[in-house]
Amino acid sequence: MTRDIQGGTVEWRGLGVINPFQDDGRLVDLARFPRLCRYLEARREQIAGRHVAQKAPANWYRTIDRITPAIAGKPKLLIPDIKGAAHIVYEDGQLYPHHNLYYITSDTWDVRALQAVLLSGIARLFVAAYSTRMRGGFLRFQAQYLRRIRLPVWEAVSEGLRAELIDAAARLDLEACNRAVFKLYGLSEAELAALGGGD
């Protein structure tokens, strides 16, 4: 949940999600899971009152989004939708993300290095260019805007710069993230100054 990442790191408050789906994506047969059935039936009125349940009453215990358990075991970045500044939180592959958070995993980029890019002024520039501002000047860090950020091929990033990106993100040092990301994109002095990275 968003409250679990307010401080910039994951501070799990003990809440979880029940996965009512089989591996093939179909809902489980509650008759085969009597404890789950008892738990859900005890809360049926509240669960069945949700919009997703009212659309298909036979599937009253369905969640809004399908749950993919493998996501829990992957390192990921968690991102709330609306924030005044980039709020990109690293999660090391222990928890399943709440449906009110965007999450990013990668099979190519180191997720910590990716966090440095998303915490940088470059990411904010991309999001601000495409996102409408909400009341109070807040930006929407939605997946459709984040996908527009162009990344260099990970294999083309030098070992030294990889380490710099990862270290800056691990320390949540925004200035260090900016310095490393500016190097990554090879920005000129004028471009650095425009992004607030000049001396």
Length of the chain: 199
Q: Check residue 137 and give left, alpha or beta (phi > 0: left; psi -120 to 50: alpha).
A: left
42-71 average pLDDT score: 92
User: What pLDDT score does 178 carry?
Assistant: 92
Helix, strand, coil percentages (3-state) for the chain, rounded to 5, are 45, 10, 45
Tell me the whole-structure pTM to 2 decimals: 0.81
| Residue 198's pLDDT band (cuts 50, 70, 90) | low
The first and second tokens of residue 169, run together, are: 């993100």
Alpha-carbon gap, residue 55 to 168, rounded angstroms: 47
In 3-state terms, what secondary structure has residue 117? helix
Question: Could you give the CA distance from residue 45 to residue 48 in angstroms, rounded to a whole number?
Answer: 5
Q: How much is the average pLDDT of 164-171?
A: 97
Mean pLDDT of 9-25: 86
Q: Give the pLDDT band of residue 124 (cuts 50, 70, 90).
A: confident
CA dist 156 and 29 (Å) reads 49
- The radius of gyration of the chain from alpha carbons, rounded to an integer in Å, stands at 20
